[in-house]
Amino acid sequence: MNNRKMRFATKRSALGLALLLAVVLAPNVGWACACGCGVFDVGTGLMLPEGPGGIVFVDYDFQDQNHNWSGTSSAPNANNDDKEIRTHFVTVGLQYMFDRSWGVQVEVPYDERYFKSTGGPSGTDIVAVNWASLGDIRVEGVYTGFSPDMSTGINFGFKLPTGDYTREDALVDIDRDTQLGTGSTDILLGGFHRGNLPGNNGLTWFAQAELDLPVVTRNDYRPGIELDAAAGIYYKGWFLRRVKITPVAQVIGSERTSDEGANAAHPIASGYQRIMLSPGIEFDMHPVSVYADFEVPVFQDFHGNQVVAPWLLKASVSYRF
């Protein structure tokens, strides 16, 4: 994965800086009425590269979009034909640093989606469909040669149109923004920085961001541009026998612009801004690590009417070699 992540007065100012970075780098999150999937690719500061070698990982991400939202507040469910979009994301990935400057990262997702909307023979029935498929593969280069400790890096690459974007069902119309794939080839560009807080206290702060820019599209549909970012701190001073326990506190934010094109079913109901608070924890039994966090929105501004998730879940198992 890319990322996958003092005295009292100094601690407070550093945390304030992390919060400010999150707001500046990503004042928003969105993905039409489907999902802001890129949000799962930031906020894993613990897995940022620290030396030559590799990491293989399996990520599990979950969100259940089951409530209608418009602007900055909740809205009646009757205002939206879509009622629920529940998605399980499973991603197998590899990050390998050839030396202290250059590396590569590949992520292969497989997603399952449950979609409940208005349709059926009458066009007004509440119907549901469930399907699963390969998602959009991400391939990126990583450069960390700015400093000897690899504390600053950039990532750059592509999201490939490998996911299913043509799913059809007799009972309900599955819009392009609800498909598991976008059908587009996207440029990915991001960066990260981490540093130790002053004092011998085991606290590390990090900031991370990634831009997803569609450049080659299909069938007159252009998904919105997405920016996701995270900033936070983690503590590496707890041990239980040979297990290192690392709590994490972070802010995650994203912005997605509205979809475009004749096949953008809901151009005025796509795109949004969101900021989330996300406590997390890692258990490191080198070379194996287990990480999980829980993400709760504290600010949301959705264009039009869109179904949203009240919380998101991220979990990861990784092996370093």
Q: Identify the CATH number of the domain in which residue 295 sits.
A: 2.40.128.130
Q: Residue 178: which of 82, 260, 315, 246 has the closest Cα?
A: 82
The answer to whether residue 264 scores a pLDDT higher than 90 is no
* 59 in a structural domain: yes
State whether the Cα torsion 69-73-76-78 is positive or negative.
Answer: negative
Would 135 be classed as within a structural domain? yes
Structure tokens at 36: 């802001």
> Residue 265's Cα: distance from chain center in Å?
23
In a domain, 219, yes or no: yes
Question: Which range is least confidently modeled, 34-43, 108-117, 150-159, 237-246?
Answer: 34-43
pLDDT digit string (tens) for 276-312?
999 999 999 999 999 999 999 999 999 999 999 999 9
User: What is the per-residue pLDDT across 57-116, written as a single tens digit (0 to 9) for each?
Assistant: 999 999 999 999 999 999 999 999 999 999 999 999 999 999 999 999 999 999 999 999
Count of domains forming the chain? 1
Q: How far apart are CA 98 and CA 205, in angstroms?
A: 25
The span from the CA of 251 to the CA of 22, in Å, is: 6
**DSSP SS3 for 211:** strand
Residue 41 has a pLDDT of: 75
Please tell me the predicted confidence (pLDDT) of residue 48: 84
pLDDT for the residue 1: 42
Q: What percent of the chain has pLDDT over 70?
A: 87
* Within a domain: 84: yes
What is the percentage of the chain residues whose pLDDT exceeds 90? 74
Residue 68 lies in a domain: yes
Q: Find the mean pLDDT for residues 133-144.
A: 96
Compute the chain's Rg from CA coordinates: 20
With left for phi above 0 and alpha for psi between -120 and 50, is residue 261 left, alpha or beta?
A: left
Is the preceding omega at residue 214 within 30 degrees of 0, hence cis? no
Lowest mean pLDDT among 30-34, 99-103, 202-206: 30-34
Mean per-residue pLDDT, 17-37: 39
Distance CA 4, CA 226 (A): 18
Average pLDDT, the chain: 87
Residue 299 lies in a domain: yes
Contact assessment for residue 44 and residue 316, using Cβ atoms and an 8 Å cutoff: yes
pLDDT class of 134 with cuts at 50, 70, 90: very high
pLDDT at 34: 52
Inside any domain, residue 1: no
Q: In which domain, by residue range, is 166 found?
A: 8-320
- Both tokens assigned to 229: 């970012």
Prediction pTM value: 0.86
Report yes or no on 129 lying in a domain. yes
Region 245-268 average pLDDT: 90
- When pLDDT is cut at 50, 70 and 90, the band that residue 161 belongs to is very high
pLDDT of residue 35: 56
